[in-house]
Structure 1
Amino acid sequence: MHAWNGHGADRSNALGQVLVFFLLPISWLFAGLVAIRRRLYQHGFYKQTTLPVPVIVVGNVMVGGVGKTPITMALVNHLKAQGLRVGVLSRGYGRKTSSTLAVSPKSQLQNVGDEPLLIARSCQVPVFVGNSRVDAGRALLSLHRDVQVLVCDDGLQHWPLARDLELCVFDERGVGNGHLLPAGPLRETWPRQALSPNVPCWVLRTSGEAGPNEFAVQRHLADYALQADGTQRSFSSWWDTPVQALAGIAKPEVFFAMLREQGMNVAHTQALPDHADLQALHIDTSQGDVLCTEKDAVKLWAHHPQAWAVPLHTTLPPELLAAIDAHLAAVQHAKLSSPHGHQTA
């Protein structure tokens, strides 16, 4: 049996390598187009828009989820604790609209997307979504003139928006096979070629071993869960009771494993696609109470207010936060000193 499994794995790897070989020409073409676009920005054929406040972009070069939004939220909460007034920009992946919109805790999910809605509810800061992050930033700043720094959730490759700092997030996959789409998982070449040498790009690692010059992000589940009305319940009250868990995130099994590590008796699980529409989801209450991620809860609570959301605590390393604070202070000083510091274009 083990020998058969081994041969099956070898066969699968061989087929994968053959597929990569045939897709490589398309990847090289894609890499060339990315390089041309980068040069057009570098030589001024395409313009970047500089907003009057510092902009931090939290993004990735890998396809799929790597944990950007929890990092964005942790960063926003840190900046707020430093006394800064923060705004957040996002494309609003999965929304049914295309216009630039303000996001409030009471926004309709289909209009703004699940992650912007989660940020608005959890961080209590101004959030705007827009296909153009430049338009979203201008709209946010026009309504919230006291905002001092903007954090962009995703958008590393959204070059029309000038930025002052980039945080590139990786998980345990690293750069995969190192090839660009479609032969590999990369959206652009790595190491990254920044548009401006004055804009640092710092690497964060959400899982796996952090390498040299990388920052390790710590993540763990809270030991409690929340319902839509704010009711809080500790995990210890479930330890003798089977529960069910669902997750519509990039890696649902990670969430399920974290619950079990906390001592939860997870008897049934539902692994759903990232950003899955949960409106028609069937939940069998006989399987026990439902535990889900906070991102799933903003979609579930409209139809299943009895679901329990488990917060994910994300801790950014002190040395990263100190470096961000120092860089922001320098950027803010430069923008205030510039004669064009209050221009939005």
Structure 2
Amino acid sequence: MPFWYQATRLWVWCLYPFSLLMQLISTIRRFCYKKGWLASYQSPLPVVVVGNISVGGNGKTPFVISLCELLITAGYKPGVISRGYGGKSPQYPLLVVNETTGKEAGDEPVLIYQRLQIPVVVDPVRSQAAIYLAEQCDVDVIVTDDGLQHYALQRDIEVVVVDGKRRYGNQHIMPMGPLREPLSRLQSVDYIINNGGVCSGEFTMNLLPSTCKRVDGKQGTLTISDINACAAIGYPPRFFETLRKQNFRLQKTVSFADHHAYTSDDFDQFELDIPLLMTEKDAVKCTSFAKDNWWYLPIDGQLPNTFTQPFLDKLKQIKESKC
């Protein structure tokens, strides 16, 4: 909601009672899980939860990919679990394979699998996905894409990703603001990753654009700077600004809702003779009907050494204690 990131207007305070109710429910729910009054699953493998306390795109998926690459380089065999938002499968848990579509698994799990070629399991009940991953796949670390508030799955490390520009908006709980939990929740997480910004006590992640690739999977090089662009992510303006910084001249930009289920009709509004550039998350849903001048921009997350080594040291201790 745009008003979440603006000065709080008088009418917004009409939502305050609902925000108080949301905060009360959230606090009681977490307390019940912490006390063991609500059942939760503890995996025999280390579990790293990557999430946020606010809604909207904060850069979790690029971080998950970079984190898994770090783990692989360090000798671990990570697997990823996801709720699979935007997808619907006839059965769960769903192990993502080459033939899995975004309609089945959701765009982010398919993207993560295509980039990493590691086990990715989707289930609305994340604990069931964790059980499947531990029992059926050759992994030794579980990374959950989102799920900070899914307390039915116990975790060993919590990582929160923050939008370095928008931060926490007006700092109110939904629906008055963008927060899922109060800011005080950050005091109990292990690491805070700042996407594109600098703040004391946080680790800065820089998103680095790579070379544009064709959506249809064929080889090619994008040589034209005048383009159209679309995005169905949590915060499309960030993507459009990234393109401008790459010296693209945007003729037309169109934002869709996050996790939008694309059809070919969505693209009738774009001129056929102008290249169309989209996010990598969008591309995984458009391969079956992509035109030869549709492109996507891969983004890689760069993690600082001040985060990577302490994280690996902490994970090593956790794994040894579980063994």
TM-score (norm 1): 0.85
Distance in 1 between the 2:236 and 2:258 partners?
A: 9
- 2:177 maps to which residue? 184
Query: Structure 2 CA distance, aligned partners of 1:75 and 1:105?
Result: 22
How far, CA to CA, are the matches of 1:229 and 1:42 in structure 2? Answer: 46
Aligned pairs for 1:1-345 within 5 A = 16-97=8-89, 99-144=92-137, 146-171=138-163, 172-192=165-185, 200-208=189-197, 210-233=198-221, 235=222, 237-239=223-225, 242-279=226-263, 280-283=265-268, 284-306=270-292, 307-336=294-323
> Could you say which structure has the larger radius of gyration?
1
Counterpart position of 1:4: none
SS at match of 1:87: strand
Distance in 2 of aligned mates of 1:139 and 1:44: 23
Match of 2:3 in 1: none
SS at match of 1:51: coil
Which amino acid is the alignment partner of residue 182 of structure 2? T
Shift of residue 255, structure 1, vs aligned partner: 1.6
Contact 2:121 2:133 in 1 (8 A): yes
Unaligned runs of 5+ in 1: 1-12, 337-345
Give the residue type in structure 2 aligned to 1:100.
P
Checking the alignment, whether the CA contact within 8 Å between 2:205 and 2:301 is kept in structure 1 is yes
> Which amino acid is 1:76 matched to?
C
CA distance in 1, matches of 2:161, 2:186: 16
C-alpha deviation, 1:36, in angstroms: 1.3
Distance of aligned partners of 1:313 and 1:290 in 2 relative to their CA distance in 1, 3 Å threshold: same
Distance 1:34 1:262 in 2: 41
Cα displacement (A) at 1:331: 0.3
Letter of the aligned partner of 2:231 in structure 1? Answer: A
Secondary structure of 1:137's counterpart equals: helix
Secondary structure of the 1:192 match is helix
| 8 Å contact kept, 2:214–2:220 | yes
Q: Judge which range, 277-286 or 325-334, deviates more.
A: 277-286
| Native 8 Å contact 2:103 2:285 kept in 1 | no
Letter in 2 for 1:64: G
State how far apart, in whole Å, the 2-side matches of 1:260 and 1:23 are: 37
> Percent of aligned positions with the same letter in both sequences?
34
For 1:37 and 1:206, locate their aligned partners in 2 and report how far apart those are by CA, in whole Å. 29
Q: Deviations over 1:148-175 (max 9, x none)?
A: 1010000000001111111101112222
Question: Residues 25 and 102 of structure 1: is their aligned pair in 2 closer, same or farther, counting only changes over 3 Å?
Answer: same
Equivalents in 1 of 2:13, 2:212: separation in Å?
Answer: 48
The alignment's TM-score, normalised by the length of structure 2, stands at 0.91
2:30 counterpart letter in structure 1: R
Residues 116 and 127, structure 1, Cα contact 8 Å, conserved in 2:
yes
Kept in 2: contact 1:226–1:310 (CA 8 A): no
Contact 2:47 2:141 in 1 (8 A): yes
